Structure 1
Amino acid sequence: RVGHLDVDGRRVTRADVGVPRPGQRFAFVMDTGLCDGVYALAEHADLLVIESTFLESEAALAAEVGHLTAAQAARVATESGVRRLVLTHFSQRYPDPRRFHDEARAHFDGELIIAEDLTTVQVPPRRVASAG
């Protein structure tokens, strides 16, 4: 990968003809307990789709069977700088998915979506670099 091109005796660099344009970042975390890998995947994600199988009241069970709570997922999102958080993979022991929303909202103030079957979620648009 060359950082320049020689044209008619003149060297043209990438900086001469373009500007850095960061891409979008998407992370998908499923069927895992809390670990360093969860944070590594979520770091600065524009969109994080993450399991929240249990509520915090069953945190011990979640840890035992290798799943996350809504609160844990939300804290990961906050600590990792996630822009849009999608919670999914809920235990059927909870008939009201709003409980996952409420628990997560206590820990994450960004855009929060509770996934349902066939939910479509867009990756947020690229962040526009500020001048200066």
Structure 2
Amino acid sequence: MAAITAAICLGDDVHPDRAKRWTVGLSYAFWWAVLGLFGPVILAGIHAVPPALIATIAGLALINPTVGALSAAFSEPRHRFAAATTLITAASGVAAFGIGAAFWGLLAGLAVHLMESLRDRLKR
């Protein structure tokens, strides 16, 4: 969390004057201290919420990043098939040799990308 907080505190959106951005660090330090002091109370409240509701909220929070990532992955027409291969293989849940689907998805997508790149070079 420290890296994320530092990135937020040092961004251009914080303050146009770089010399005054340190004030945001004080604000974040205060809120992290409050969060630390009331952590047990906050966790007790979270544990009172049904797990299905937490999963729903997490899923809703991931919609926008997922749409952005998919838009970027499928934006270039010549890379769409490799992106789709990566996504479908990773989502399939296939596991071989004790290695999970995320690895095989990346490997399949890379293989398709390399084959398409080779095909395009041979056409020229």
TM-score (norm 1): 0.22
Higher relative contact order (CA 8 A, sep 6+): 1
- Larger strand fraction of residues: 1
- Larger helix fraction of residues: 2
Bigger Cα Rg: 2
